[in-house]
Amino acid sequence: MEPHRHHHSGLLGTVENAAHRIAHSETIAHVVPIAPELMQASKVMFWSETWLLALQALRANKVRAGLTMLGVIIGSACIVLVVTVALAGKTYIIKLIEGVGANLVFVDHPHIGREQNSAMADEISLDDAQAIRDEASNVAYVAATRNIPLTVVAGGVEYPVNLVGVTQGFQEIRRLIVLRGRYFEPDDMMSRSKVCLLTDELAKVVFPGDDAVGQDIRVGNLHFTVIGVFKERVSTFGESEITDKSVIVPFGLIKYYTGTDFVSTLYAQASSPGNVQQVAEDVGEILHGRHRPGAEYRVQNLASLRDSAEKISFALTIVLLLIAFIALLISGIGIMNIMLVTVTERTREIGIRKAIGAPRNAILYQFLMEALLISGTGALAGILIAVMIPAVMNVVISYFPVAAGVHVPVSWVSVVLAFLVSCSTGLLFGYLPANRAARLHPTESLRYE
């Protein structure tokens, strides 16, 4: 037993002496030139050996490496999912806005119905609509509406309804969904047929359990035949001429009953999104040119609302990305802590490697690669999870007709960003432990217990 101890002590002393000589050697007696091919081969061997040692070190502590990756997985997944949610929300909001009427410009007279404050000549009329149709450039459709509040009696109960007269082009602009029956045909518009369409909500109230199509309805003192039941493509929650309980009829009937062709709201649809602002300016100029100088007209479009939605979406994306980056920062601190513990545990191993000639860079790069493997593998796992979630959601959504057309997109820019940021986090926070390991003195490392 005693000889064995003596042999071990002698071996340790030999290694320590070699380490001492390597650590304090400052001169090289002779430098032998090396061929470029050998230099290249030595670099390949160096990097392959470094990668292999890093992998072996992580395999030796699989549980620790896995738990350290967990923070990176969460952080990288958050980056991809945040951008995905922001894009999906932005797309959905813009779709809602465009569902009201794509490239839409709408005009009204602020004092409509208040003759004491505005002259009758200031009211928008069908002639104004025709002038816009003829004179404005880049206009695809023009339509006009007029609303009259009336009542409908159903089951002995009186319900307030909105009687809406519409011109040709209204359906092309608002794109109402006809659930049953049909929409107005050109003959209905021209002949002032006493036909109407009801909102789905009103049809259920007036004709509970029955099909409203083909039945007669009394609105105020007026009688109409129901030819269809409809709903808005995107609900405007009563902010437009269409409410939950609305009846739409050809505009000619409103003109016949009231004796005037005044318009409550005039719509002009631009041929493309880029022409909306120009169409709005043209409509305003035409109306002001056809009426007295003091007349007021409110020309609006949905471009400002769309811009606001995009700005809000961008702001939310930035806030959520900051939260995701904080998660990655925390994971980076976790990587640094674990790597510092690893360096302490492997101090003797580092000393032996330095004693037998391992250069400082070899130790540095080994520990940096371990940090890179942890962060890179965690990033790939997090990205995979983040990409699978929208894919599964799209499959599930496809089974619901009510969500037809809804798609959850994945930004591949966010995928690349998540991977690069996660790997950079691993390298950044792994540098301190790696540098500490590389700077260890071989003699002192060998004596560490």
Between strands 195-199 and 222-231, the pairing is: parallel
Residue 167 is predicted with a pLDDT of 93
* DSSP-derived 3-state class of residue 166: strand
Antiparallel, parallel or unpaired: β 157-166 and 246-250: parallel
Q: Give dist(CA 255, CA 167) in Å, integer.
A: 11
In DSSP terms, 196 is beta-bridged to 226
Q: What residues of the chain score a pLDDT lower than 50?
A: 1-32, 112-117
Q: Where are the beta strands (DSSP E) in 271-414?
A: 298-301
Q: What is the pLDDT of residue 84?
A: 86
Helix/strand/coil (H, E, C) string of the chain?
CHHHHHHHHHHHHHHHHHHHHHHHCCCCCCCCCCCHHHHHHHHHHHHHHHHHHHHHHHHHCHHHHHHHHHHHHHHHHHHHHHHHHHHHHHHHHHHHHHHHCCCEEEEECCCCCCCCCCCHHHCCEHHHHHHHHHHCCCEEEEEEEEEEEEEEEECCEEEEEEEEEECCCHHHHHCCEEEEECCCCHHHHHHCCCEEEEEHHHHHHHCCCCCCCCCEEEECCEEEEEEEEEECCCCCCCCCCCCCCEEEEEHHHHHHHHCCCECCEEEEEECCHHHHHHHHHHHHHHHHHHCCCCCCCEEEECHHHHHHHHHHHHHHHHHHHHHHHHHHHHHHHHHHHHHHHHHHHCHHHHHHHHHCCCCHHHHHHHHHHHHHHHHHHHHHHHHHHHHHHHHHHHHHHCCCHHHCCCCCCCCHHHHHHHHHHHHHHHHHHHHHHHHHHHCCCHHHHHCCC
* Model pLDDT, residue 160: 93
Q: Report residue 198 as tokens.
A: 């009801």
- The string over 352-363, giving b where at least 16 C-beta atoms fall within 10 Å of a residue's C-beta and e elsewhere, is ebbbeebeeebb
What SS3 state is found at 280?
A: helix
The pTM (predicted TM-score) of the whole model is 0.63
Q: Of 143, 194, 193, 142, which Cα lies nearest the Cα of 167?
A: 143
Residue 250, pLDDT score: 94
At residue 346, the pLDDT reads 80
3-state secondary structure of 247: strand
Taking the C-alpha atoms of residue 252 and residue 255, their distance in angstroms, rounded to an integer, is 5
pLDDT digits (tens, 9 = 90+) for 284-325: 999 989 988 888 888 888 777 777 777 888 888 888 888 888
What gap in Å lies between CA 253 and CA 184, rounded to an integer? Answer: 13
For residue 444, the model assigns a pLDDT of 73
Q: How many residues does the chain have?
A: 449
pLDDT at 118: 54
* CA dist list (Å): 143 to 130, 315, 439: 9, 36, 79
